[in-house]
Structure 1
Amino acid sequence: MSAKDRINGEFEVPAELSDRRLDQAVAELMPDHSRSRIQGWIKAGDLTVNGEARKPRDKVMLGDIITVNAEPEVQVTWEAESIELDIVYEDEHVLVINKPAGLVVHPAAGHAAGTLVNALLHHAPEVDKLPRAGIVHRLDKDTSGLMVVARSLIAHTSLVDQLQTRTMGREYDAVMVGTITGGGVVDAPIGRHPTQRKKMAVVRDGKPAVTHYRLVERFPAHTHVRCKLESGRTHQIRVHMAHIRHALVGDPVYGGRMQLPKGCTPELKEVLRQFHRQALHARQLTLVHPATDEEMTWEAPLPADMLELLEALRAHARAQESL
């Protein structure tokens, strides 16, 4: 491999990243590369600070010079597959998808095929020329709702910028365990769980994360809320709601054991037992079109499983009121 084929870069640490972990700071400076990949560069000595090798957890300071000279990640060839997509909007620059629960976004170990990316390569082959096949933000496998995909380099650049500057509006419907009296804000940094590496958690040295939530409908032991994101951290709403002791219904990772409300009807008990995914749906997406500068908004109605859950909760509430 020639020198020109390697990843080369030099960055001066800005004030806002001073006193952050080295791997976290580089992840902010080089958002197209994963944290694990960056940690690999640091450990291999391919990423230095002021010309010296460091550890991923070492802190960087204002004015430090970070230098990268590393081999690029091996590009995996993803196959196009004829998978039906629920397309809400499309033009030559953007594609807005209503993703069903259960659909994985990116091919990965254990999910090499049958993903949203495989479907996109079949429907819009041009995304193969874009970073991550045009995917600029993700939804968890079992979260349903709206996603925007870039179909052109202009769109990719614009959408990434809108996400980073927090000008892209994303609103979610969620059903949480427990009741609240009103809305609120969770402002708590999120990072990898200190002992369970497949989980995220609120941690002191995590990335800044802010979730706004408001009350939609309250039931005897559950609450339907709408959440708006200022940031887009992995599992953000799920982690934040669990952090305030209101984990989402059905969440297999952050929800703990299923809780049945007092006087639970047989119908509600059955619905709760059969609800095997987090009750989370990306209902609304607002962005500025990359080519026209027009502000555009799309909405996706609640899927059948969440409608059934809400109706069962309403029926239980009516039964409780009649006692």
Structure 2
Amino acid sequence: MPRTVEATQRVPATLAGARLDQAAAELFSDYSRERLKAWINAGDLTVDGARVKPKTKLHGDETLDLCATLEEEGRFEPQAIALDVVFEDDAVMVINKPAGMVVHPAAGNPDGTLLNALLHYHPEIAQLPRAGIVHRLDKDTTGLMMVAKTLPAQTALVEQLQARTVSRQYDAVVIGTPVAGGTVDAPIGRHPKDRKRQAVNASGKPAVTHFRVVERFRAHTHVRCKLETGRTHQIRVHMAHARYPLIGDPIYGGRPKLPPGAAEPLKEILREFPRQALHARKLSFVHPHTEQTMTFRAPLPDDLLMLLDYLREDHATMR
């Protein structure tokens, strides 16, 4: 059932001159800034009983009244889908997502998603926005995701993402052989002609990806990427922009590159690899309750291990 949230705070002198949305984020810290801003716009969070705009400047000593409804994710059905739970306590879950699982229902994927699985696994999570999901992975990207089980935990984890204090590392197998690692610092936004794609775009949002070489093959490279930001398709877009697109990427990858003289099994796997070769291998964040830094690792899935074995064998045979 939907839950009503009611709270009152008096604005201290230390917040005199602050905008309402900024002060609200500090005084009602259990909720995200986006949620509070929506409540302000809806008139659910008022100043001295009056409905005002989020940018309204406060003088101090005003009374902020919050009366809002937390809606359940009621339109989505719980489904008994197996989850690989790496860690769980009363506040947080860490999931190792398989390839092929969509994170959130959308057009073309109305069910069978991580959200549907979470609603079955932990029904109380329906009270949270997006069933506690804090960040996303693409459908065919494997690896670690954090999910909150309480609203304060979700708010804290979202704030860590926004502050760029969550550490996320990915393994990728790319086309091409970079001499060394590097950094791609290029804004990402919607592709100007194809709305389903992202692109390096001067009017996009800042995006920074660091990468280093793990293992180099004849025409491909195993790289490790670290995100500073979390834009949609960021690693896929940035590595393609650097002219090292991911193997198997149906949107940004281009044509497979077959090493000269490669054996038929390697040619086949390079032509037919069914997804972008990307895996979220390591995740670190500060636990919202204990304030301890927690780090998790997920081993490479079988399909990437097999791909690397073929590339390694080819490299050893042909050098």
Q: TM-score, normalised by structure 2?
A: 0.78
Deviation at 1:75, TM superposition (A): 6.7
Give the structure 2 partner of residue 239 of structure 1.
237
Match of 1:135 among 133, 136, 149: 133
Residues 293-317 of structure 1 show CA distances to partners (whole Å, capped at 9, x for unaligned) of 0111000000000000000000110
- Report if aligned partners of 2:181, 2:213 keep a CA contact under 8 Å in 1: yes
Q: For the structure 1 residues 31 and 219, does the alpha-carbon distance in structure 2 shift closer, same or farther, using more than 3 Å as the test?
A: farther
Q: 5 Å matches for 1:236-275?
A: 236-275=234-273
Residues 152-190 of structure 1 show CA distances to partners (whole Å, capped at 9, x for unaligned) of 112101100110000000000000000011111000000
Deviation at 1:258, TM superposition (A): 1.9
5+ residue gaps, structure 2: 1-17, 23-32, 38-52, 56-70
The one-letter code of the counterpart of 2:80 is S
Give the structure 2 partner of residue 84 of structure 1.
82
Measure the CA separation in 2 of the matches of 1:271 and 1:296: 36
Give the structure 2 partner of residue 219 of structure 1.
217
Match of 1:99 among 97, 100, 106: 97
Give the structure 1 partner of residue 114 of structure 2.
116
Q: 5 Å matches for 1:110-189?
A: 110-189=108-187
Measure the CA separation in 2 of the matches of 1:99 and 1:74: 24
Q: Say which one has the larger Rg.
A: 2
Measure the CA separation in 1 of the matches of 2:261 and 2:305: 21
SS in structure 2 opposite 1:264?
A: coil
- Report if aligned partners of 2:73, 2:127 keep a CA contact under 8 Å in 1: no
Residues 270-305 of structure 1 show CA distances to partners (whole Å, capped at 9, x for unaligned) of 211221100000000001101000111000000000
- Report if aligned partners of 2:73, 2:129 keep a CA contact under 8 Å in 1: no
Give the structure 1 partner of residue 302 of structure 2.
304
Stretches (4+) displaced over 3 A: 10-14, 29-33, 73-76
Q: For the structure 1 residues 152 and 49, does the alpha-carbon distance in structure 2 shift closer, same or farther, using more than 3 Å as the test?
A: closer
262-271 vs 134-143, greater mean Cα deviation: 262-271
The reply to whether residue 202 of structure 1 matches residue 200 of structure 2 is yes
Measure the CA separation in 1 of the matches of 2:263 and 2:147: 42
Deviation at 1:31, TM superposition (A): 8.1
SS in structure 2 opposite 1:214?
A: strand
Give the structure 1 partner of residue 313 of structure 2.
315
Measure the CA separation in 2 of the matches of 1:85 and 1:105: 12
Residues 218-250 of structure 1 show CA distances to partners (whole Å, capped at 9, x for unaligned) of 001001000000000000000000001110000
5+ residue gaps, structure 1: 1-9, 15-28, 34-47, 51-72
Percent identity over the alignment is 61
Measure the CA separation in 2 of the matches of 1:262 and 1:131: 51
Q: For the structure 1 residues 190 and 78, does the alpha-carbon distance in structure 2 shift closer, same or farther, using more than 3 Å as the test?
A: same
Q: 5 Å matches for 1:2-17?
A: none
Deviation at 1:30, TM superposition (A): 3.9
Residues 100-140 of structure 1 show CA distances to partners (whole Å, capped at 9, x for unaligned) of 01000001111111100000001111211111110110000
Q: TM-score, normalised by structure 1?
A: 0.77
Measure the CA separation in 1 of the matches of 2:216 and 2:119: 42
Measure the CA separation in 2 of the matches of 1:201 and 1:11: 34
Residues 3-42 of structure 1 show CA distances to partners (whole Å, capped at 9, x for unaligned) of xxxxxxx97999xxxxxxxxxxxxxx74899xxxxxxxxx
251-260 vs 141-150, greater mean Cα deviation: 251-260
- Report if aligned partners of 2:168, 2:280 keep a CA contact under 8 Å in 1: yes
